[in-house]
Amino acid sequence: MSAAEHGPRARGMIAAADDELTIFERSKAGRRAFVAPALDVPERPLDELLAPGLRRAAPARLPEVSEPEIVRHYNRLSKRNFDLDTGFYPLGSCTMKHNPKLHERVAALPGHAKLHPLQDPARAQGALELMWRLQDALGEIAGLPHVSLQPSAGSHGELAGVLLTRAFHEDRGEHRTKVLTPDTAHGTNPATVTMAGYEVVKVGTDDQGNVDLDDLRAKASRDVACLMLTNPSTLGLFELGIEEIARIVHGVGATLYYDGANLNAIMGICRPGDMGFDIVHFNLHKSFTQPHGGGGPGAGPIAVSDRIEPFLPRPQVVRRQASQNGSPPGQSQTPESYFDLDYDRPKSIGRLRGFQGNYGVFVRSYAYIRSLGAAGLRDVSETAVLNANYLLARLRADGVMQHLPAAYDRICMHEFVLSGAPMKRELEIRTLDLAKRLLDHGVHPPTVYFPLLVEEALLIEPTETETKETLDRFAQIVSAILHEAAEDPEIARGAPYTTPVRRLDEAGAARHPVVRQPLD
Amino acid sequence: MTRYTAATEADRREMLAVIGVESIEELFADIPAGLRLRDGLAVEGGHSEQEVYDELRALAARNASTEDELSFLGAGMYDHYVPALVDSITSRSEFLTPYTPYQPEVSQGGLQAMFEYQTAISELTGLPISNASVYEGPSAVAAAGYVAKLANGRRRFVVSRGMHPHAREALRTLAHGWEMEVVEAPLSDGVTELPELDEDVSAVLVSQPNFLGAVEDLAALAARAHEVGALCVCACDPLPLALLRTPGECGVDIAVGEGQTLGNRLDYGGPSFGFFATTEALIRRIPGRIAGETRDVDGKRGFVLTLQTREQHIRREKATSNICTAQALNALAGVIYLSWLGRRGIVELAELMLQRTAYARERLGALDGVRLLHRQPVVREFAVGLDAPVDAVRERCLAQGVNPGYPLARDYPEHENALLVAITERRSRADIDRLADVLGDAVASERERHSERTSA
Amino acid sequence: MADPSYPSDLLYHPEHDWARVDGDEATFGITWFAQDALGEVVFFEAPQVGSQVAKDAPYTEVESVKAVSDVVAPLSGEVVAVNDALADNPETINEDPYGEGWLVKVKLSDASEQDALLDSTAYEASLD
What are the sequence ranges of the domains in chain C?
11-114
CB contact under 8 A, B44 and A373: yes
| A141 and A17 within one domain | no
CB contact under 8 A, C43 and A511: yes
The DSSP call for residue B247 is H
Q: CA A40, CA A20: separation in Å to the nearest integer?
A: 42
pLDDT at A329: 55
Q: With CA atoms as reference, report the closest residue to A239 among A282, A268, A203.
A: A203
Q: Say how many CB pairs under 8 Å bridge B and C.
A: 17
Tell me the mean pLDDT in the region A25-52.
Answer: 96
CB contact under 8 A, B315 and C68: yes
pLDDT at A5: 35
The CATH T-level fold of domain C11-114 is OB fold (Dihydrolipoamide Acetyltransferase, E2P) (2.40.50)
| B382 and B332 within one domain | no
Q: Look at residue A8 and tell me whether its pLDDT is greater than 80.
A: no
DSSP A75-131: HHHHTTB--TTTS---BTTT------THHHHHHTSHHHHT--TTS-GGGBHHHHHHH
Task: Count CA atoms closer than 13 A to B188's CA, side-chain side.
Answer: 6
Residue B309 sits at the chain C interface (C-beta within 8 Å): yes
| B286 and B190 within one domain | yes
User: What torsion do the CA atoms of A195, A199, A204, A209 make, to the nearest 10 degrees?
Assistant: -20
Chain A hits for C64, Cβ within 8 Å: 507, 510
List per-residue pLDDT tens for chain C, 128 residues long. 888 999 999 999 999 999 999 999 999 999 999 999 888 999 988 899 999 999 999 999 898 887 888 899 999 999 999 999 998 899 999 999 999 999 999 999 998 999 999 999 999 999 87
| A326 and A247 within one domain | yes
Closest residue to A4, CB basis, from B95, B299, B338: B299
Residues B375/B212, Cβ–Cβ less than 8 Å: no
Integer-rounded Cα Rg, in Å, for chain C is 13
Pairing, β A255-259 against β A224-229: parallel
3-state secondary structure of B238: coil
pLDDT in tens, A373-414: 999 999 999 999 999 999 999 999 999 999 999 999 889 999
Q: CA C32, CA C97: separation in Å to the nearest integer?
A: 6
- Most B-contacting residue of A74, A443, A452 (CB-CB within 10 A), to test interface: A74
Q: Look at residue B322 and tell me whether its pLDDT is greater than 90.
A: no
Chains that touch B (3 or more CB pairs under 8 A): A, C
Domain of residue A204 covers 120-369
pLDDT at B378: 98
Q: Which residues, 6+ apart, have CB-to-CB distance to B239 below 8 Å?
A: B80, B261, B262, B346, B349, B350, B353, B380
Closest residue to B267, CB basis, from A65, A359, A504: A359
pLDDT at A7: 34
Residue A487 lies in a domain: no
Tell me the mean pLDDT in the region A327-343.
Answer: 71
pLDDT tier at A324 (50, 70, 90 boundaries)?
Answer: low
Residue B1 sits at the chain A interface (C-beta within 8 Å): yes
Residue A398 lies in a domain: no
Chain C hits for A510, Cβ within 8 Å: 42-43, 63-65
Residues B369/B392, Cβ–Cβ less than 8 Å: no
Q: CA B65, CA B179: separation in Å to the nearest integer?
A: 41
For all residues of chain B together, what is the average pLDDT?
A: 96
Chain A hits for B404, Cβ within 8 Å: none
Closest residue to B94, CB basis, from A83, A370, A371: A83
- Burial (0-12, 13-18, 19+ Cβ within 10 Å), A5: exposed
Tell me the mean pLDDT in the region A54-58.
Answer: 97
Query: By a Cβ cutoff of 8 Å, what residues of chain A touch chain C?
Result: 449, 506-507, 510-511
- Most A-contacting residue of B1, B3, B5, B332 (CB-CB within 10 A), to test interface: B5
Residue B308 sits at the chain C interface (C-beta within 8 Å): yes
Residue A197 lies in a domain: yes
Q: With CA atoms as reference, report the closest residue to B201 among B185, B218, B177, B217.
A: B185
Q: Look at residue A12 and tell me whether its pLDDT is greater than 60.
A: no
Q: Look at residue A38 and tell me whether its pLDDT is greater than 80.
A: yes
CB contact under 8 A, B346 and A390: no
pLDDT at A191: 87
Q: CA B50, CA B138: separation in Å to the nearest integer?
A: 38
Does this complex have an ipTM over 0.90? yes
The number of distinct structural domains making up chain A is: 2
Q: Look at residue A10 and tell me whether its pLDDT is greater than 70.
A: no
Residue A469 lies in a domain: no
pLDDT tier at B456 (50, 70, 90 boundaries)?
Answer: low
CB contact under 8 A, A507 and C91: yes
Residue numbers of C between 66 and 95 with CB closer than 8 Å to B? 66-68
Chain A hits for C39, Cβ within 8 Å: 507
Q: CA B267, CA B265: separation in Å to the nearest integer?
A: 5
Q: CA B165, CA B76: separation in Å to the nearest integer?
A: 10
| A213 and A152 within one domain | yes
- Most B-contacting residue of C64, C65, C70 (CB-CB within 10 A), to test interface: C65
Q: Which chain B residue's Cα is nearest to C42?
A: B307
Does this model's pTM top 0.90? yes
Residue B315 sits at the chain C interface (C-beta within 8 Å): yes
Give percent above pLDDT 90 in chain B: 92
Residue A474 lies in a domain: no
A479 to chain B, closest Cα gap in Å:
17
pLDDT at C67: 82
Domain boundary among B314, B336, B358: B336
* The Cα angle at residue B102 between residues B97 and B107, in degrees rounded to 5: 55
| Residue A64 phi, psi (nearest 5) | -115, 100
Give buried/exposed letters for A251-277 (b at 16+ CB in 10 A, else e). ebbbbbbbbbbbbbbbbbbbbbbbbbb
Residues B285/B231, Cβ–Cβ less than 8 Å: no
Q: CA C14, CA B199: separation in Å to the nearest integer?
A: 39
Residue A115 lies in a domain: no
| B161 and B22 within one domain | no
Q: Look at residue A160 and tell me whether its pLDDT is greater than 80.
A: yes
Q: Is the dihedral of CA A116, A119, A124, A128 positive or negative?
A: positive
pLDDT tier at A430 (50, 70, 90 boundaries)?
Answer: very high
Cβ atoms within 10 Å of A366's Cβ, excluding its own: 26
| B350 and B316 within one domain | no
3-state secondary structure of B199: coil
CB contact under 8 A, B42 and A374: yes
Q: CA B292, CA B131: separation in Å to the nearest integer?
A: 10
| B317 and B176 within one domain | yes
Residue B318 sits at the chain C interface (C-beta within 8 Å): yes
CB contact under 8 A, C66 and B315: no
Q: Look at residue A511 and tell me whether its pLDDT is greater than 80.
A: yes
For all residues of chain A together, what is the average pLDDT?
A: 92
pLDDT tier at A13 (50, 70, 90 boundaries)?
Answer: very low
Lowest mean pLDDT among A13-27, B113-127, C21-35: A13-27
Domain of residue B387 covers 70-77+344-455
Chain B hits for C67, Cβ within 8 Å: 309, 314
pLDDT at A17: 59
Q: Look at residue B33 and tell me whether its pLDDT is greater than 50.
A: yes
pLDDT tier at A19 (50, 70, 90 boundaries)?
Answer: low
Q: Specify the DSSP element, H or E, that contains A154.
A: helix A154-171
Q: Which chain B residue's Cα is nearest to C62?
A: B309
Residue B140 belongs to domain with CATH number? 3.40.640.10
Residue A478 sits at the chain B interface (C-beta within 8 Å): no
pLDDT in tens, B297-319: 999 999 999 988 777 777 777 77
Residue A260 identity: G
- Most C-contacting residue of A448, A506, A511 (CB-CB within 10 A), to test interface: A511
Q: Is the dihedral of CA A237, A241, A242, A246 positive or negative?
A: negative
Residue B311 lies in a domain: yes
Residue B58 lies in a domain: no
Tell me the mean pLDDT in the region B399-427.
Answer: 97
Q: Look at residue B173 and tell me whether its pLDDT is greater than 70.
A: yes
Closest residue to B314, CB basis, from C43, C45, C68: C68
B20 to chain C, closest Cα gap in Å:
40
Chain centre to alpha carbon of residue B64:
21
| Residue A196 phi, psi (nearest 5) | -90, 5
| B231 and B95 within one domain | yes
| Residue B294 phi, psi (nearest 5) | -160, -165
CB contact under 8 A, A54 and B318: no
Q: Look at residue B417 and tell me whether its pLDDT is greater than 80.
A: yes
Tell me the mean pLDDT in the region B393-401.
Answer: 97
Q: CA B248, CA B252: separation in Å to the nearest integer?
A: 6
- The reply to whether omega before A52 is within 30° of 0 (cis) is no
Residue B42 lies in a domain: yes
pLDDT tier at A9 (50, 70, 90 boundaries)?
Answer: very low
Chain C hits for A449, Cβ within 8 Å: 66
The number of distinct structural domains making up chain B is: 3
Q: Which chain C residue's Cα is nearest to A449?
A: C66
| B315 and B366 within one domain | no
pLDDT at B141: 98
A214 to chain B, closest Cα gap in Å:
20
- Burial (0-12, 13-18, 19+ Cβ within 10 Å), B22: exposed
CB contact under 8 A, A80 and B176: no
| A65 and A174 within one domain | no
Residue A455 lies in a domain: no
Q: Say how many CB pairs under 8 Å bridge A and B.
A: 732
CB contact under 8 A, C63 and B318: no
Residue B16 identity: L
Residue A114 lies in a domain: no
pLDDT tier at A325 (50, 70, 90 boundaries)?
Answer: low
C42 to chain A, closest Cα gap in Å:
4
Chains that touch A (3 or more CB pairs under 8 A): B, C
Tell me the mean pLDDT in the region A288-317.
Answer: 97
CB contact under 8 A, B344 and A32: yes
Chain C hits for A506, Cβ within 8 Å: 65
pLDDT at A4: 37
